[in-house]
Amino acid sequence: MGLLSGKVAVVTGGAQGIGLEIARTFVAEGAKVVIGDINSEVGAGAVAELGGETVARFASCDVRDSAQVESMIDLAESAFGPLDVLVNNAGMTRDATMRKMTEQDFDDVIAVHLKGAWNGTRAAAARMRERESGAIINISSISGKVGLLGQTNYSAAKAGIVGLTKAAAKEVAFKNVRVNAVQPGLVRTAMTEAMPERIWQQKLDEIPMARAAEPNEVASVVLFLASDMSSYMTGAVLEVTGGRHM
């Protein structure tokens, strides 16, 4: 019996990177998973990798659009049953200093991260509260705690996710719906490994554990929050940073 045996989960931005690792971990622990993503081609490949449509499905979803978020959850429930877990992981970056950042760069990042997380939390909570059970996990970032140079849009969005998580947790706790957040630090993915060596080393130098996280190390913390092992936790923000920015 896995930690999520018989559970139904949705992971946004789940076609690659940390989101795919979360989906992979959930399936390994017995869950049926729907991946929501804007990249249909990569999403189809992810479903095949996870074991096919008996355990995973893909939903084309732009999390900025509440109707698409509702349709994604509809697909999960029609394919596998009532929703138990939602992970709001979809994201993007448009890094630049304030002087060079455009309004569109700011608006897009806020919309995908913060509005997207609100759309997902709102839609999932509405269904979960009727059954008086469910777990929502929002992926924030250490950037939302400390603010990082060139990320006024991203840091603002990720800090906003923390506030959203805590407020939503207070609203639905009496219905046994839990809302928590995870703040990863530097994680080894294709995107971060494309950084210039100087920037990568600069970030490593800030980490007491002297290494980047592997995606599965973030996924295991998300699994903990999705499972009954964290049954008395809500409104919590767990840092997965190797001690960076304590």
Q: Which residues are catalytic?
A: 154
Q: How far apart are CA 53 and CA 51, in angstroms?
A: 7
Q: How many residues does the chain have?
A: 246
Q: How far apart are CA 109 and CA 131, in angstroms?
A: 33
- Residue pair 226/137 in contact by the 8 Å Cβ criterion: yes
Q: Classify the C-alpha dihedral 39-43-44-46 as positive or negative.
A: positive
Report DSSP letters for 57-116, one per residue. Answer: EEEE--TT-HHHHHHHHHHHHHHT-S--EEEE-------B-TTT--HHHHHHHHIIIIIH
- Residue pair 64/123 in contact by the 8 Å Cβ criterion: no
- Residue pair 31/58 in contact by the 8 Å Cβ criterion: no
